Structure 1
């Protein structure tokens, strides 16, 4: 009878996997426990820990006496009017005409002289509060920043102010003198 052959590499890997599964099995079956203990620390200051308290130091046992659940009511929100449903594909709808401010008129509530004081770092809200809505806008995208353009008006004649936004913050301000 020939001598027995040594186990091949394939059998060696299978035996190793079987041995590891046997060694890790008891740990995989043990449930994970997460317990919190409230103990009296130095000078009777409450201490929360994950190990049981020493005798006489337990302030609360969360396993036998769990804390009550506190539910705070949310703010009352009035129902907002719903936007009209999207038109079906293939139907055309005429867009309303844009209302533009003529170049010579100032917009109500906006001081055109304030355009000189717009600086990088201001938010869109600050710009709208100071200058009002722009006459011309271009939307930003992932690669391009948003651009607002204010045309000449009575408080800032012969000057076109272009404000570029990046992530809702003024990135640059360009003021060009235009000749009529």
Structure 2
């Protein structure tokens, strides 16, 4: 039993280290065509998600919003995804 506990603890430590490694400055280096999973890996989960199109039989379209952060101050980043791929990136100064 202690070996399983140690393995689980180790896995959680690695996962949390990866989450801490996300740098908000990387938001400015995203590009169209990037898969959804890669966006989450590079800059983390969005602060807000809104669906534009969510109808059965049609490609899902949504926006992910990232609020200003310590390493990306005063910049609001809005990413539009269609069928799991980035189609638009908007970066606005938020005061």
Q: 1:138 aligns with which of 50, 56, 71?
A: 50
Matched pairs, number: 73
Q: Equivalent residue for 2:77? A: 161
Say which structure is richer in strand: 2
* Structure-1 separation of matches of 2:85 and 2:50: 15
* Structure-2 separation of matches of 1:160 and 1:131: 13
How far 1:157 sits from its partner (Å)?
A: 0.2
How far 1:122 sits from its partner (Å)?
A: 0.1
Q: How does 1:44-55 map to 2 (within 5 A)?
A: none
TM-score, structure 2 as length reference: 0.70
* Structure-2 separation of matches of 1:108 and 1:133: 12
Q: Following superposition, which runs of at least 4 residues in structure 1 exceed 3 angstroms of deviation?
A: none
Q: How does 1:3-152 map to 2 (within 5 A)?
A: 108-139=20-51, 140-142=53-55, 145-152=61-68
Structure 1: gaps spanning 5 or more residues:
1-106
Report SS of the residue matched to 1:170: strand
Report SS of the residue matched to 1:174: strand
Report SS of the residue matched to 1:126: helix
- For residues 31-82 of structure 1, the C-alpha deviation after alignment (integer angstroms, 9 at most, x for no partner) is xxxxxxxxxxxxxxxxxxxxxxxxxxxxxxxxxxxxxxxxxxxxxxxxxxxx
Report SS of the residue matched to 1:128: helix
TM-score, structure 1 as length reference: 0.38
How far 1:109 sits from its partner (Å)?
A: 2.8
The root-mean-square deviation of aligned C-alpha atoms, in Å, is 1.7
Say which structure is richer in helix: 2
Q: Equivalent residue for 1:47? A: none
* Structure-2 separation of matches of 1:118 and 1:150: 13
